[in-house]
Structure 1
Amino acid sequence: MVSKFSRALGALALAATLTAGSAFGEDLKPFPDSSRLVAVGGSLTEIIFALGEEGRLVGRDSTAVYPEAALELPDVGYMRALSPEGVLSVNPSALLVLTGSGPKEALDVLSKASIPYQTVPEGFSHEGILAKIKAVGQALDVEDKARALSDEVDKDLKEAEALTANVAARKKVLFILSMQDGKVQASGTGSAANGIIALAGAENAITDYQGYKALTDEAIINARPDVILMMDRGGELAVSDEALFTHPGIALTPAGQNHKVVRIDGAYLLGFGPRTASAVRDLARAIYGDALGGN
Structure 2
Amino acid sequence: MKRPPIAQQSPYSNPLVLQRADPWIYKHTDGYYYFTGSVPEYDRIELRRSLTLNGLAEAEPVVCWRKHEIGKMSANIWAPEIHYVSGKWYIYFAAAWTSETQQGIFDHRMYVLENSSANPLEGAWEEKGQIVTDWESFSLDATSFVHEGVHYLVWAQNDPAIEGNSNLYIAPMSNPWTLGGKQVLLSKPEYPWERIGYKVNEGAAVVRHGGRIFISYSGSATDHNYCMGLLWADENSDLLDPASWSKAAEPVFVSDEEHGQYGPGHNCFTFAEDDKTDVLVYHARSYKEIDGDSLYDPNRHARAKTFVWDEHGMPVFGRPLPDTHSR
Q: Name the structure, 1 or 2, with higher relative contact order (CA <8 Å, separation 6+).
A: 1
Shared fold by TM > 0.5? no
Compute the TM-score of the two structures, normalised by the length of structure 2: 0.26
Larger radius of gyration: 1
Q: Which has the higher strand share?
A: 2
Q: Which has the higher helix share?
A: 1
